[in-house]
Amino acid sequence: MGEPTEHATASSSEEPAPPPPAPPRPPLSLVEPTHKKKKSVFRRVRAVFRTFPILTPACKLQSLPGGLIPDGHGHGGTRVTGTLFGYRKGKVTLSLQENPRCLPTVVLELAMQTNVLQKEMSSGMVRIALECEKRPEKDKTKLLEEPIWSMFCNGKKTGFSTKRDASKEDLHVMELLHHVSMGAGVLPGSSEAEGPDGELAYMRAHFERVVGSKDSETLYMISPEGNNGPELSMFFVRI
């Protein structure tokens, strides 16, 4: 048998070229929400006041019927930024922010695929209820810090939603959208399930956050004036 030629040897050792590296992600510019900054300042001030002697007040605040003390401001809703995003066949993530330039204060993985939610939204009205069990009175866990929820969409149970820390992917999405106050569209994806060409759908809007009690809160999506688009409400309740 003859020896292999130089050309055959070279061609047999060839390997496919590696894929080009992914472009670097922009540096994170999101800032801490102001309520966390205020909390840090409050802790420092409280530490100083703890060194002062305790004085007995000469008068008491006037209370309202029911034992309530006037606080000087109303109990209406607070406006927050809410973003729903996810890959078409992946679960929807809800991110709540004080405003688009802040780090998320709450991140929930909802028990619903993105394409299913998009279909529900096309009907014009979506009501999502998230329920969990009541805690003992001494338990100070805030409602939106609950780790797991039973989720219902327009009256149908969809499964269990979970609260989690913001991932690098979540923060990357928030960074890409930090100039967007409201709107909907798609972003280039990087999910292993969808592949490098997969698209990530998002919808961002202002929500009015209404606190009913320590066991109930509601998010009402605020539509732009004159826009008769879909309505979305989310109810968080301990039962």
Q: Rounded CA gap, 128 and 42, in Å?
A: 35
Domain boundaries of the chain, sorted by first residue: 75-238
Give the pLDDT confidence of 160-218 residue by residue, as tens digits.
Answer: 999 999 999 999 999 999 999 999 999 987 655 565 557 899 999 999 999 999 999 99
* Per-residue confidence (pLDDT) for residue 198, from 0 to 100: 77
The pTM (predicted TM-score) of the whole model is 0.72
Query: How many C-beta atoms surround the C-beta of residue 108 within 10 A?
Result: 23
Cβ-count burial of 110 within 10 angstroms (0-12 exposed, 13-18 middle, 19+ buried)? buried
**Region of poorest pLDDT, from 24-28, 83-87, 109-113, 122-126:** 24-28
Cβ-count burial of 206 within 10 angstroms (0-12 exposed, 13-18 middle, 19+ buried)? middle
- Contact between residue 92 and residue 140 where contact means Cβ atoms under 8 Å apart: no
- Residue 177, classed as helix, strand or coil, is coil
**Region of poorest pLDDT, from 2-6, 52-56, 85-89, 114-118:** 52-56
Type of residue numbered 29? S
Give the pLDDT confidence of 176-192 residue by residue, as tens digits.
Answer: 999 999 999 999 876 55
- Contact between residue 88 and residue 194 where contact means Cβ atoms under 8 Å apart: yes
Type of residue numbered 129? A
Give the pLDDT confidence of 138-160 residue by residue, as tens digits.
Answer: 999 999 999 999 999 999 999 99
